Amino acid sequence: MSHRTKLRSAVAAAACCAALMAGTTLLASPAQAGSRPAAAPAAAVAHRQTRPEAQVTLFFSDYRDAVLQQHSEGKSTVDVRKEYLTPELDDALTEWSATHQKDPVFRSQNVPNGCTWRTADTSPEGHSTVILTQTWDDGTTTDVWYQVRLDGLLIDGLTDPPAPVA
């Protein structure tokens, strides 16, 4: 799939994400410990996505559809992860899942009903950090930090937010 096609798909995924934030709740997902209430619907904030943000949004949308078995191309979560993630990250997420007994992408046993994103920084080492905020049915949110390679837009990092500095 070309980057142009992926970018168009990312725009569509962003629209889907905004629609999810604005209304429908398909699954019941209890709040996670440490979650915070959402301040305002993200769909109300206009923001032009960067290429790394678009890639993370597209990955999140494709992955969520695969988990719900609603992927338009019939892809599984394994297929989606292989398309967007480095092999090293994919292996690390498999280990994380086995240790924590949760979905390694959502960082939960449940499926979020929406998302927003923002870029935290672009480093000189050729990476961009994108913070994806997942929204749950009860309005709480959870941040997941993605690291995206700027050359090729592969995702090579996916972690919980760093611990606050004491």
Q: What does the block give as tokens for 91?
A: 């292996």
Predicted local confidence at residue 35, as pLDDT: 37
Domain ranges (residues) in the chain? 3-23+48-159
Would the pLDDT of 30 be above 90? no
- Over residues 123-140, the mean pLDDT reads 86
Q: Helix crossing, 3-22 with 51-67: angle to 10°?
A: 70
CA distance 133 to 66: 19
CA distance 128 to 27: 31
Task: Please state, as a whole number, how many other Cβ atoms lie within 10 Å of the Cβ of residue 129.
Answer: 17
Would the pLDDT of 6 be above 60? no
Predicted local confidence at residue 113, as pLDDT: 83
Would the pLDDT of 116 be above 50? yes
| 117 close to 132: Cβ distance less than 8 angstroms | yes
Residue with token string 């297929």:
79
124: pLDDT confidence band, cut at 50, 70 and 90? low
Q: Which residues pair with 133 in a beta bridge?
A: 116, 143
Positions of E strands within the chain: 36-37, 114-122, 127-135, 140-149, 155-159
**Greater model confidence, 16 or 28:** 16
Task: Please state, as a whole number, how many other Cβ atoms lie within 10 Å of the Cβ of residue 136.
Answer: 24
Residue environment code for 139-157, b if the CB has 16+ CB neighbours within 10 A, otherwise e = ebbbbbebbbbeeebbbbb
Residue 24 belongs to what H/E stretch? none
Choosing among 3.30.1380, 3.10.450, 1.10.3470, 3.30.1460, the CATH entry for 3-23+48-159 is 3.10.450
Average pLDDT, rounded, for the chain = 75
